[in-house]
Structure formats: structure tokens, C-alpha cells
Structure 1
């Protein structure tokens, strides 16, 4: 029997941190970060979430403690490996997804595939910093951008802590992971699939990657249970400054949906 992608990768590194959600939590929350980053962007979320929601944040190969592993550069292999890793977290507790930018794209794809395969899917999905229409999509030109230009670009977006840009050692770790993730995102094909569960979206009022003013309206025909859009001051990484407000809003929806689902069992 062939060894799965997730099994191969799990020998080297851990997909989610922590590996298991708090056993006392009644609901699990899987968090998916933006391109080039890992679980660290959600480091403050466990303290902001209610105690009965157990967070587990994704770190892909090629960054943070997994930087010794080869990063994915193609969409399909990444999704397949991540899909197996997500299924491996299943412990029969209800769960939800939240993703930012590339993480939102992955959360969307995973939710669609879980329904297609007839397996337990998320109670709801939270999307921020991305929508299926009206958002920046990287091209080969962006992927192969000279390092100094790439650094200037991500600096304008404010995608990493300011001290990273003056630290050559840190940049040497961040840039390869970012290029890999841009390559992955460039290969994603939009099939117009419906989200099989309730969805709520979040955005920054001055997001430099949002190319159309009404971009988040593109979720309306894709989710029969679209819970609406919340907008906050800031750019693409508004979540850094508004994590408390986002988690409160997200959890209010999640509790309501979890209670409704419990009544049906």
C-alpha cells in the first residue's frame, strides 16, 4: 500500500499546532494562515477564544519549525496532503475553519472536497482577506520577482512584523516560503463550487489586494447560508489589529450553529 502524502510529511513535521485540540473543548477550530507564514500569525487567538473552542493552527512545510522540509509549489499536491492531515484531526467533535488569504482559499477548497467525499465537514467557514472574485491572483511575474522588489511589495502590504525586513536571516527563511505559496495560489482554478456550510467573511477597508469594491459579494451566490461580511479599518492584514472583534463575531455564529446542529442529533 502506498504511503499517503500526509503520512510522509507527518514523519518530519506537525501540520497543526497543537497536534490535538484541548480535550475539554467541545468545538475545534482549524486556522489557516496567509502565504509565507504559519501558525504564528494566530498566536494570540487561543487567549481570545472561549475555553470550549479549541484552536489548532496550520503550519505548512518550508516555514517556522518545518523550514527544513520541502515546501509545496503546486496546488493539487498541497490540497491533497492538507486534506489528509485535516481528516486525521477528526475526533468526532464538531469543528470549523477560519482562513486568511491563501488560508481562506485552502479552507474553501477543503470544505468543498469534504462534502464531495461524503465525510464530516465544518459547521462553518470564516474567510478573510480573500473572495473568489475581485481579489489579486499572483502570476509568474510575481513569483519570479527579484528579491528586493518582492520585499518592497510585502512591506507595503505589511504582511510580516517590521523587524523581519532588517533581518537578513529571517528574510532568507520567509522569502522562499512566500514564493512557494505564490506559486501554489497561481495554480488554483476556480470551479465556482458552492460552500456546503454557512460562511462569514471579513475584510480590511484598505486592503491592497482587493481589486473590486464589492469583491465579497461574490460569496453570495456560492453559499446558500452566507452570514454576511464584516469590514474593519486597516489593510490586508487587518486581522492583526482586530483579532478580538473577529473572534467574538465568529464565535457568536459558531455557537448558534453548533446549538442548532446538536438539536438535530
Structure 2
């Protein structure tokens, strides 16, 4: 039986301080095995009225000494507790890539269930409720040489880390934990009550053609999919158009909520 980490005490949201003058907040969720630093190029692209924070899960970067979660439900529960403590009442949106999109979706459902303020919008990149490659528990636990080969084939870890054994040693435990989280997930078909907009790579090797259409029954307002040249990690080269699109939707939805 897999075990899950106890309530972690590190910072779930980075940076710890946000601009109090910004009218809206954007919470960013990294992909499996990664940490807050994958969005380091995004802050200069966001307008002054949107302040950002990135989710930092236990077991990576400055939370390296904490045990990672290995099951979806306890992770979402702990993340929900942390988010409720962090949220200050301003309108906000979620954006996540791959496992990050999955977490943004499940966190929104948890907030709905608790009667908390929900996001204006979910931006889901590189993941869909159906038609996405399902990771098994056996794959999550495969021997390290096979795991490294799979990671290399996806291009999910920079070459300089793949070629640095010391750096790689810090990435593998987080990747394994996250893959176990994904493998533990059982889809229940639940729908969020807010709009969803999606983004994908044209040659994403992890998604079936038309997979983003599976969002249609999961939201009352599916805002469509923007497709970019590239594979699963198309996102690395498309921060500007994605942030521009998110900004447009966030401002429109915030204005409509005020009316």
C-alpha cells in the first residue's frame, strides 16, 4: 500500500509575498517531477493587475527535505488546506501543465465541495480528463535506467540535468512520487462550475487526437483549445501567447463578475 506524506510545513506557494495592489492572482501548477522554477520566465510577461504564485509541492527544490505525496486524494486535501489559508479574497485563476492541470482541476472540485471561493478560470495545458496517457503504478516504480530512458524520451528534464548525476539524483525521487500520484488517480467524471480554457502541443506524444474535447462535459463554459507547434513540452517556447490569452480571459471574467 502506498503511503502519503504528513501535512508538510514548507511554503506551498512561491514567492511568499504577492503585490497587494494587483487586483487578481494567478496560481501556476508545475508538471510532474518539476518545481516552481519552471515558471521563472512568466512574471515579466504578466500585467501589473495580475500577481502570480507557483505551487511548490513537497520533495523538490527548497522543499527537498520533505517527503513527497504518492496518492492524489491526500495531496489534493493538503493542497486545499494550504490554498484556503493563502487565499485573500481577490479574484484568481489556476493554470497548470500536465499533472499541474490535473491538480488545478481536482483542487477546484475540492474548493467547490468545501463551499470556498472558486477560480474565475482553469487554464489546462497538456492534460485532458480523457485521451491522456494513463501512467500505471508499475511504470511509476520501474527500475531507474528504464525510468531515465522514459524521461529522456519525453524531454521533461533539461539536458544539463540529465547529464549531471548529482542534479539528476534530486529530480528522480520527485518524479517517482508524482508518477505514483498520477497512477493512483481514478476519474469520477466530476464537473467544475467555472470556465475552462485549454492549450496543447500539436505533436504531443501523451495525448490522443481530440482529447481536449473531453473537457466539454466537465465545465459549463469550455472556452476552446489553442494548439501550438511542438510536443508535450511546447509550453517551454510559448509562454507569451499563453499569458496573453490567460490575461484576456481573466480580465473579461473578472469584469463580468463585478457587474
TM bucket by the smaller chain?
over 0.9
Instruction: Tell me which residue corresponds to 1:77.
Output: 74
Alpha-carbon distance in structure 2 between the residues aligned to 1:54 and 1:207: 30
**Which stretch shifts more, 242-251 or 146-155?**
146-155
RMSD of aligned alpha carbons: 1.2
Alpha-carbon distance in structure 1 between the residues aligned to 2:225 and 2:18: 28
CA contact (8 A) 1:33 1:102 kept: yes
Instruction: Tell me which residue corresponds to 1:231.
Output: 227
Query: What's the CA shift for 1:193?
Result: 0.8
Instruction: Tell me which residue corresponds to 2:137.
Output: 140
Alpha-carbon distance in structure 2 between the residues aligned to 1:132 and 1:200: 13
Deviations 1:25-68 (A, max 9, x none): 11001111000011011111111111110110011110001001
Instruction: Tell me which residue corresponds to 1:171.
Output: 168
Deviations 1:144-167 (A, max 9, x none): 222122112111111121101110
CA contact (8 A) 1:28 1:53 kept: yes
How many matched pairs? 255
Deviations 1:216-253 (A, max 9, x none): 00001111110000000111111110010111011111
Instruction: Tell me which residue corresponds to 2:210.
Output: 214
Give every structure 1 segment of 4 or more consecutive aligned residues whose post-TM-superposition deviation is greater than 2 Å: none
**Which stretch shifts more, 137-146 or 61-70?**
137-146
1:241 aligns with 2:240: no
Query: What's the CA shift for 1:20?
Result: 3.1
Alpha-carbon distance in structure 1 between the residues aligned to 2:96 and 2:132: 15
What pairs with 1:92-241 in structure 2 (closer than 5 Å)?
Answer: 92-210=89-207, 212-241=208-237
CA contact (8 A) 1:20 1:89 kept: no
Query: What's the CA shift for 1:140?
Result: 2.0
Alpha-carbon distance in structure 1 between the residues aligned to 2:206 and 2:237: 18
Structure 2 residue runs without a partner (length 5+): none
Deviations 1:75-127 (A, max 9, x none): 11111110111111111111110011111111001111211221101010000
CA contact (8 A) 2:77 2:110 kept: no
Query: What's the CA shift for 1:143?
Result: 0.8
Instruction: Tell me which residue corresponds to 1:56.
Output: 53
Structure 1 residue runs without a partner (length 5+): none
CA contact (8 A) 1:62 1:71 kept: yes
Alpha-carbon distance in structure 2 between the residues aligned to 1:111 and 1:169: 36
Q: Secondary structure at the match of 1:114?
A: helix
Alpha-carbon distance in structure 1 between the residues aligned to 2:18 and 2:87: 10
Query: What's the CA shift for 1:141?
Result: 2.3
CA contact (8 A) 2:29 2:97 kept: yes
